[in-house]
Structure 1
């Protein structure tokens, strides 16, 4: 140990006033062990007004129970309700991520299977053509290889046309968008609302309705890809409860909650336009899309099956000419059909039309639900509701009122659609 002592290092030059000061002593102790494995500092102990205690440098945090009690006293919200709201919020955020990932996966399925099947089909057609101009063992090998590839293409086409990867991807994109919309609603409820147990139940019903409308697994619960009758997509609870409007006392008309006879009549005309023009038009297009998709889905496997049969008879002395034409031409046409169906994503187009029809059905039910409610205080605020309808249809307030006036004059013969968005 080496001890360095220094005393009276600083002697003040001022005579009378410095005589009462104590001498400062600076000690430095350095421990040098034989093997230095670390440096240990002596414990710092200070006291007085400027002292610091190391064990008290972190402020003590309040317990969760005290936070919950303070939260209830300040906002009047049950902490159990808020806990359930946050649990639903986390589940919705997780579903958004799940649908995004699965949607990307099924988009890759569509492109990968499309390219693979087309490559197999064209290779089989080329082998059949080469086998027709060859002889001996090479011709037999090419003929059998072509037939095997056509059989494989037929099986793959049957599976792909059954599940419709492009339509599955569109379903997941719609689900992701709707879950994000629900996520934003929950955030708004947490920020500016006063959630109750009824809100928790309604949010649970919305989540379950979306899960049912857009299932994640394929086996057992997959949506019908070729329905006999096309219906609008439904992703909301069938029974929607109406409660006291939270903005009832904020409107200009306190008694009628922002509603009047003119606004009710406008909303009825808007509903009629959406039902007669927008929803029916998208259902008509959806029926055409599903009919085209059904034709393509059934024709392509039949063509590859016939091509496989033709490949088996290539080189036959009696049916050689027809067999070659069937093998080559069938493969080429099957490739065109497959490219048109999955490259053009006809299934995705059908699902898009069906979803758009569901959007207008939801708007119709929302407007009619407000109009049927006799208690004005249980309706959505009229002015706010009119603004929401304008935004959903891509119109201004004046354009919406002009549309309602035109619909009242022309009725079902009106040429204009309600929506300007799509």
Structure 2
């Protein structure tokens, strides 16, 4: 009992830690978004004013200030786009709701740099927050009838097939789209502010004509739009949400398959309880779960229905 209380205390502390860090990183996302957009728009305004100034110290001051602000915005954007505050916040929110200790810190790291998850992975993989080596139930814990029969095994196999073909595949596909959009926006923001900094530096130069003004003003305005879309729209958070949802279905798939692979029925989870648990996780009643399995066995890969009714 003392050991169980010690584990419970550790879980509670870890959940609170992830909650606090998630709140902190949510605040970072809001403050950094506001600050960078304010700096960028102010720099664009200064570049525009410098282009119509009569020369002398006022024009030089405007140009210098605009260039400095664009350079600062470019640096801040490069850092923010690397760490993705909205995605960091979503990682901590996911860790908070799992309420587990094992494998949790590896799946949703607390450090800001070094150990953090890859924000722009080459391939989208489901999030994994559970130990890979599952413990078997002790032999004899479910003596007698364990609720498993051929019909239930067939039903669970069909459910796994639907989860693989429809639900998990759909969230991985959406995750890839969100990742591509996030990559484009993350690159575009610093590039636009960098070009705007170059343009603002040449405002008023007779040899460069009007292009410097256009680049200095339009580049800053476009950079603000891109930054607002990326971080105000929390594209990184959306990607992480899709990856976590795919992980949820991956966990269900592994859980069902691990029970089906176990030849000794006594070591399996109770079949009736397990069927009810699968139904609850998918937001289905037992009758709806059985209807889905029957539809999958008839329609096969042509089935249009998703396994989950929750999300």
Report the TM range for the smaller structure's normalisation. Answer: over 0.9
Give me the whole-angstrom Cα distance separating, in 2, the residues matched to 1:377 and 1:364: 21
Instruction: Show the counterpart of 1:409.
Output: 298
1:247–1:381 CA contact under 8 A, matched in 2: no
Give 1:262's match in structure 2, choosing from 130, 141, 151.
151
Shift of 1:83: 2.1
1:158-182: per-residue Cα shift (whole Å, max 9, x none)?
Answer: 0000000000000000000001xx4
Asked if 1:337 corresponds to 2:231, the answer is no
Give 1:103's match in structure 2, choosing from 17, 22, 46.
22
Instruction: Show the counterpart of 1:126.
Output: 45
Relative to the length of structure 1, the TM-score reads: 0.72
2:81–2:186 CA contact under 8 A, matched in 1: yes
Instruction: Show the counterpart of 1:294.
Output: 183
Alignment of 1:225-374 (within 5 A): 225-244=119-138, 248-249=142-143, 254-255=144-145, 257-374=146-263
Shift of 1:413: 1.1
Asked if 1:117 corresponds to 2:11, the answer is no
| Structure 1 alignment gaps of length 5 or more | 1-81, 183-206
2:193–2:223 CA contact under 8 A, matched in 1: yes
Alignment of 1:37-186 (within 5 A): 82-134=1-53, 135-179=55-99, 182=100
Compared with structure 1, are the counterparts of its residues 319 and 84 closer, same or farther at alpha carbon in structure 2 (3 Å cutoff)?
Answer: same
2:141–2:267 CA contact under 8 A, matched in 1: no
Root mean square deviation, CA, Å: 1.1
Give me the whole-angstrom Cα distance separating, in 1, the residues matched to 2:162 and 2:8: 36
1:245–1:380 CA contact under 8 A, matched in 2: no
Shift of 1:84: 2.1
Relative to the length of structure 2, the TM-score reads: 0.98
**Higher RCO (C-alpha 8 Å, min separation 6):** 2
Give me the whole-angstrom Cα distance separating, in 2, the residues matched to 1:416 and 1:326: 50
1:54-73: per-residue Cα shift (whole Å, max 9, x none)?
Answer: xxxxxxxxxxxxxxxxxxxx
Give me the whole-angstrom Cα distance separating, in 2, the residues matched to 1:208 and 1:329: 50
1:25-45: per-residue Cα shift (whole Å, max 9, x none)?
Answer: xxxxxxxxxxxxxxxxxxxxx
Q: Alignment partner of 1:208: what SS? A: coil
Q: Alignment partner of 1:318: what SS? A: helix
Give me the whole-angstrom Cα distance separating, in 1, the residues matched to 2:250 and 2:113: 28
**Could you say which structure has the higher helix fraction?**
2
2:25–2:89 CA contact under 8 A, matched in 1: yes
Give 2:264's match in structure 1, choosing from 369, 372, 375.
375
| Structure 2 alignment gaps of length 5 or more | none
Compared with structure 1, are the counterparts of its residues 245 and 113 closer, same or farther at alpha carbon in structure 2 (3 Å cutoff)?
Answer: farther
1:348-396: per-residue Cα shift (whole Å, max 9, x none)?
Answer: 0000000000000000000000001111111000000000000000000
Give 2:117's match in structure 1, choosing from 223, 235, 243.
223
Give me the whole-angstrom Cα distance separating, in 2, the residues matched to 1:91 and 1:396: 35
Alignment of 1:7-18 (within 5 A): none
Give me the whole-angstrom Cα distance separating, in 2, the residues matched to 1:130 and 1:407: 66
Asked if 1:400 corresponds to 2:294, the answer is no
Give me the whole-angstrom Cα distance separating, in 2, the residues matched to 1:246 and 1:227: 44
